[in-house]
Structure 1
């Protein structure tokens, strides 16, 4: 009798342990649907983070005034002649309208379109002389007469961008980006007149405005790219 009671208690104890292990295993088994839901939620969160990062990413942008194709080809020929002797990176002939400013691409596009809406019409510039500057991006350039016609479009665009320069606007068209000595700059200046004797009498029209990404730390200009372009209306 005693042995039977002991056996019954022992079997009952084993049964309780078995039931406990069963419940424990059920609780520990992950719900596959729950895992899928978590994965989808995590993916959406990652996508939102990436979108936010892209929206908040800033780069350096500038607005350029672009001349007609005929004038551009003439200036390119002069630029190529200078680069062949003095080196430097290649870039499109342009008159800087808004200097380097750091923005997100969305902000830059929005401000660019507003600025173009303020300028609207084709305007003209006239070369005063070939001049030299004191830093890489103003090494050798065509200095333009600062007439109201060429200064006002820049002022309007700058207001749209909220761009404030520490120096008065100096309209110019760069011919050479390079780090040269004063003596080399003088030679490059003289070379420009040899390559195009009448360049300091050139008048031309700005027919388009373009938004460019212009990382000023990249002197190779390899990262520079046109983002958007706007055709100005003929007068």
Structure 2
């Protein structure tokens, strides 16, 4: 490894997030929903994921170490959609095993009251557009609130502040042990 690469891994801090990745059949369904919303309301393209740890500022080496520890300590788990909601985006609020958040908090030091969520559309939407997008979710996916799936993969992403999301990149991924 070169000196520059050593410095990148050890010295420079970036924003990192941990994402739970849905199984392929759920990913396809959600991608279709997200593409339809984006076609009508705009916004950047994003991969279907559930944010488990949001934006921890770390060196890549520290982020990889913490991520590996989470993966080692966590078994596959189930997620259930609680509701569609809005805030800075339109998203699915999910119910998860509290152990997932506790383990993530233990390794990344984040607030355990953070709720796992899946953003469906990002963008600079007005309150009225946000409400219309939320309603559109139910038109496109009538049964979205009955969606439940098992998470067996986590990914570590570099997620610097970037409204286009083009600079976001996957660093590594792991498969969780079966419960």
Q: TM-score, normalized by length of structure 2?
A: 0.93
Cross-structure match for 2:81? 127
Cross-structure match for 1:157? 104
Cross-structure match for 1:114? 69
Is it true that 1:221 corresponds to 2:165 in the alignment? yes
Mapping of 1:60-79 within 5 angstroms?
60-79=15-34
Q: Pick from 89, 93, 98: which aligns with 2:53?
A: 98
State the secondary structure of the residue aligned to 2:162: coil
* Unpaired stretches in structure 1, ≥5 consecutive residues: 1-46
Pick the structure with greater CA Rg. Answer: 1
Deviation at 1:122, TM superposition (A): 1.1
The 3 A distance-change label for structure 1 pair 52 and 229 is closer
Task: Pick the structure with more helix per residue.
Answer: 1
Q: Pick from 144, 150, 167: which aligns with 2:94?
A: 144
Cross-structure match for 1:207? 152
Per-residue CA distance 1:152-202 (angstroms, 9 max, x = gap): 2122022112x233x822121110111211111100000011111111111
Task: Pick the structure with more strand per residue.
Answer: 2
* Unpaired stretches in structure 2, ≥5 consecutive residues: none
Q: TM-score, normalized by length of structure 1?
A: 0.71
Q: Is contact 1:130-1:140 (8 Å) kept?
A: yes
RMSD value, Cα: 1.6
Q: Is contact 1:116-1:157 (8 Å) kept?
A: no
Q: Which has the higher contact order (CA 8 A, sep 6+)?
A: 2
| Structure 1 runs, 4 residues or longer, greater than 4 Å off | none
